[in-house]
Amino acid sequence: MKAQRFEGVETPDGTWFAPGRINIIGEHTDYNDGFVLPAALAQGATAQVRLRNDDLLRLHAVDLNESCEVRLSEVSPGAGLGWAAYVAGVGWAASQRGLPVPGIDLAVTSNVPVGAGLSSSAALSCVTAQAWNDLAGWGLDGPEIAALGRDAENHIAGAPTGLMDQLASVCGRVGHVLQIDTRTGEIRPVPLDLDRAGLAILVIDSNTPHTHADGEYAERRASCQAAAEALGVPALRDVPIDDVASSLADLPDVLRRRARHVITDSARVKQVSQLLAGGADPRRIGPLLNASHESMRHDFEITAPTVDLLQETAVSAGAYGARMTGGGFGGCVIALVDAGDVDAIVNACAAAAAAAHHPKPASFIAQIGDGAHRIDR
């Protein structure tokens, strides 16, 4: 990325990076005050940023070759800023907190696949938030920086996400997954040494794009809220996993299945964390990954034929477990595999997709990296 992107800007004040993420397990549990287990990826968004002495934002998306100028005073819900909402929204969120928000020039590039469920949007909002925090001297900690990114997505971009994606992007830690209690904000790094176990996490992109800012995601969130209200609890997190069938018996069918997914998937997060933290062979989490996928498929109904086929094929070809990751309705499957079996499983998934006349999947081995940081010093 070239430093000079805007007229009159000779050099940036710095360069920042924020990663995308995979979620090992715990889908749609974050906005239900439940547990999640994401990990930061090596792929992410890189931004060169320079402070201004006015309230103008001059933004350039290198990959789209698109530029945008907007004044901070013009940023508001419903402003229709497109991709720039994820950047400008951070300034709006900071101003809502009473922070001093100078204008910026920003040029950004990203190698996180868009629409794949790997949080390309969180990488964009969080790289912006981290850079602005550092340059403007806000002094915010990781969770506070992540909250700026979430508010940008929720209120300005119109994507009703929880906080998991942003926390993973800001607080990620190399060689670890993060058990996050989304009610308390507690983040517990859990070691995951795949190399030592001879394993790899294979990410298989179905090339079926999805979007969070659509009716399906919002409907799932509304259904969860309705189920919690019907059960008389603040959030589905408060329904005990013990005898969950009896607890949900009086709910209408759809609400019962939605709630069952959230409650059981949040419990699976704690099971996976306990296994990994206790030094168990990571292969033992495979059945929990499969159970999570079945729950998303049948109870939460957020998978798609493309991802279902890839999940089934990966397991049949030797994966210890596989599940869709991300908000759903397309996106990626993650598969826990022996490192030596990667090529065979990639080939099997490509062949199955071709036979079903689905898009050709794209695959890569997940490298777990660090969260948002400055990279030019």
pLDDT of 292-302, one tens digit each? 999 999 999 99
Give me the pLDDT at residue 214, please: 61
User: Residues 109, 63: one domain?
Assistant: yes
Give me the pLDDT at residue 206, please: 95
Q: pLDDT tens digits for 261-283?
A: 999 999 999 999 999 999 999 99
Please determine, for residue 18, whether its predicted confidence score (pLDDT) is greater than 70: yes
Tell me, what CATH number does 145's domain have? 3.30.230.10
Please determine, for residue 7, whether its predicted confidence score (pLDDT) is greater than 50: no
Of 155, 189, 223, the last residue of a domain is 189
In a domain, 343, yes or no: yes
Cβ contact 171:142 at 8 Å: yes
In a domain, 3, yes or no: no
Mean pLDDT of 14-42: 96
Q: Could you give the CA distance from residue 128 to residue 326 in angstroms, rounded to a whole number? A: 22
User: Residues 91, 220: one domain?
Assistant: no
Give me the pLDDT at residue 1, please: 39
Tell me, what CATH number does 293's domain have? 3.30.70.890
Of 189, 217, 241, the last residue of a domain is 189
Please report which confidence band the pLDDT of residue 329 belongs to, taking 50, 70 and 90 as the band edges: confident
134 belongs to the catalytic site: no
Instruction: For residue 258, give both structure tokens.
Output: 């939605």
Q: What is the mean pLDDT of the chain?
A: 93
Instruction: For residue 330, give both structure tokens.
Output: 């397309």
User: Residues 152, 200: one domain?
Assistant: no
Give me the pLDDT at residue 183, please: 93
Cβ-based neighbours of 190, under 8 Å, separated by 6 or more: 37, 176, 177, 178, 179, 273, 276, 277
Instruction: For residue 4, give both structure tokens.
Output: 């000079």
Give me the pLDDT at residue 116, please: 78
Please determine, for residue 3, whether its predicted confidence score (pLDDT) is greater than 90: no
Of 189, 223, 240, the last residue of a domain is 189
* Phi, psi for residue 350 in degrees, rounded to 5: -65, -40
Catalytic one of 30, 33, 105, 165: 165
Mean pLDDT of 187-199: 96
User: Residues 67, 131: one domain?
Assistant: yes
In a domain, 376, yes or no: no
Q: Could you give the CA distance from residue 123 to residue 45 in angstroms, rounded to a whole number? A: 6
Cβ-based neighbours of 153, under 8 Å, separated by 6 or more: 86, 89, 121, 122, 125, 159, 161, 166, 212
Residue range(s) defining the domain that contains residue 65: 14-189
Beta bridge partner(s), residue 374: 16
Q: pLDDT tens digits for 113-160?
A: 887 778 899 999 999 999 999 999 999 999 999 999 999 999 999 987
Please determine, for residue 6, whether its predicted confidence score (pLDDT) is greater than 60: no
User: Residues 272, 306: one domain?
Assistant: yes
In a domain, 315, yes or no: yes
In a domain, 53, yes or no: yes
Give me the pLDDT at residue 5, please: 40
**Top-confidence residue, 216 or 343:** 343
User: Residues 197, 151: one domain?
Assistant: no
